[in-house]
Amino acid sequence: MPRLSEVTTALAALWPASLAEAWDAVGTVVGDPDSEVNRVLFAVDPVQEIVDEAVRIGADLLVTHHPLYLRGTTTVAADTFKGKVVHTLVKNDIALHVAHTNADKADPGVSDALAGALDVRVVRPLVPDPTDPSGRRGLGRVCELEHPLTLRELADRAADRLPATAQGIRVAGDPDATIRTLAVSGGSGDSLFDDVRASGVDAFLTADLRHHPASEAREHTSLALLDAAHWATEWPWCELAAAQLDEISDRHGWGLRVHVSRTVTDPWTAHAASARPSPAATLPASAARTPS
Ligand SMILES: [Zn+2]
C-alpha cells in the first residue's frame, strides 16, 4: 500500500503545481504524508456532502478540483463549514488534495475531459501555455466535430452527455446554425471570449456566462453559446483523473481502489421554465412593449 506522499507525488506529476495560476491554492490541504492510502475518491467540490461520502466509503484520500481554502484563514473551528470539513477529514484520517487551475492547463486536463464527454476531437488549446514546447497545454480547447451538427443537435448532445443538473444547457444563437468547430472550457469561461473570437470557432461551450460578456459576444459575431452548469463541465475530469490514477496504481502495483463521486454538488437545485413557447410571452401585460 503506498504512502500519501507517494500518491501525491504521482498526482503532482500529472498536474504540476507550477501550472497553477498565482492566485490559486493547489496541492495537499489535509493529510499526513506518511499515512497509507488504499481508497481514493475524486469529486469536484470539497463540501461536507462529499467528505461524508468519503467517510462512508472508507476513503483515505479525497481529490477535488476546487480548493477548500483560496484565501488566508484564521480558523478551522468546526462551527464554520470549512472548519467542519477539516475536522471530519482529520478525525477520519482522510487526506484532501486539490488540483485546480493546474488540472485546467495540464495535458490532458479538465477541458480535454469535457471535449471527450461531448465526443468532439481536440485540435489545440484555446489559450496555449507559452512555456509548453509541445503546444498541448493551456486553457480551454479548440475542437472539431466529426460530423457537423446544428446548434440544436449539439445542445441536445451536451444535455445527454454531461451529467444532468437543474440548469440544463442554456443556448444562444440560431438553433439551425451549422456547427463544425467548437471551443470548450470547463468552469467559468467568460473571460475567454477574446480568445474564442480569435479562434474563429462556430460555438463556445462553457459555464457561468454572464449577461454582458455573452450579449457583447453575440452582438459582435455569430458565435453560438452553450452554457452548462459549472459543476457539470468539470465533473468529466473526475473520471479522467481517476482513470489516470488507476493506471499509475497498476504500474506501481499499489492496488488502489479509485472511486468517482456521483453526488451532484452544483449549488442550483431547481429550474422553473414556462411551457409557453416564447420567453416574451411570459411578460406581464403591463410590461409588454406595444408598437408605437
Ligand atoms: Zn470550477
* Ligand 1 centroid to residue 162 C-alpha, Å: 15
Tell me the C-alpha distance between 47 and 41, whole Å. 13
Fold for 4-103+234-260, please state it.
3.40.1390
How much distance in Å is there from the Cα of 14 to the middle of ligand 1?
A: 18
Which are the contacts of 125, defined by CB distance < 8 A and separation ≥ 6?
111, 135, 136, 137, 138, 139, 140, 141, 142
* Mean per-residue pLDDT, 61-74: 95
Q: Which three cell numbers mark 243?
A: 482513470
Residues 244-257 have pLDDT tens digits of 999 999 999 999 99
Give mean pLDDT, residues 144-151.
Answer: 98
Convert the pLDDT of each residue in 34-57 to its tens digit.
999 999 999 999 999 999 999 999
- Res 276 pLDDT > 80: no
Dist. CA 227 → ligand 1 center (Å): 14
Cα of 20 vs centre of ligand 1, distance in Å, is: 13
- Answer whether the bond into residue 16 is a cis peptide, omega within 30°: no
pLDDT value, residue 39: 98
Q: How far is ligand 1, taken at its centre, from the CA of residue 187, in Å?
A: 4
Q: Where are the alpha helices (DSSP H) in 134-192?
A: 151-161
Classify each residue of 250-284 as buried b or exposed e, where b means 16 or more C-beta atoms within 10 Å of its C-beta.
eeeebebbbbbbeebbbeeeeeeeeeeeeeeeeee
In sequence order, the 6+-apart residues with CB closer than 8 A to the CB of 112 are 122, 141, 240
Q: What values do phi and psi take at 278, rounded to 5?
A: -110, 135
The pLDDT-based confidence of 288 (bands split at 50, 70, 90) is low
Q: What is the pLDDT of residue 97?
A: 98
Question: How far is the centre of ligand 1, averaged over its atoms, from the C-alpha of 238 (Å)?
Answer: 12
Question: What gap in Å lies between CA 183 and CA 141, rounded to an integer?
Answer: 6
- What spacing in Å lies between the alpha carbon of 110 and ligand 1's midpoint? 9
* pLDDT range class, residue 280, cuts 50, 70, 90: low
**Which among 163, 210, 154 is positioned nearest to 182, based on CA atoms?**
154
175 C-alpha to ligand 1 centroid (Å):
28
pLDDT at 53: 98
Q: What is the pLDDT of residue 172?
A: 96
pLDDT at 30: 98
State the fold for domain 107-228. 3.40.1390
Confidence label for 282 from pLDDT (cuts 50, 70 and 90): low
Comma-separated ranges of CATH 3.40.1390.30 domains in the chain? 4-103+234-260, 107-228
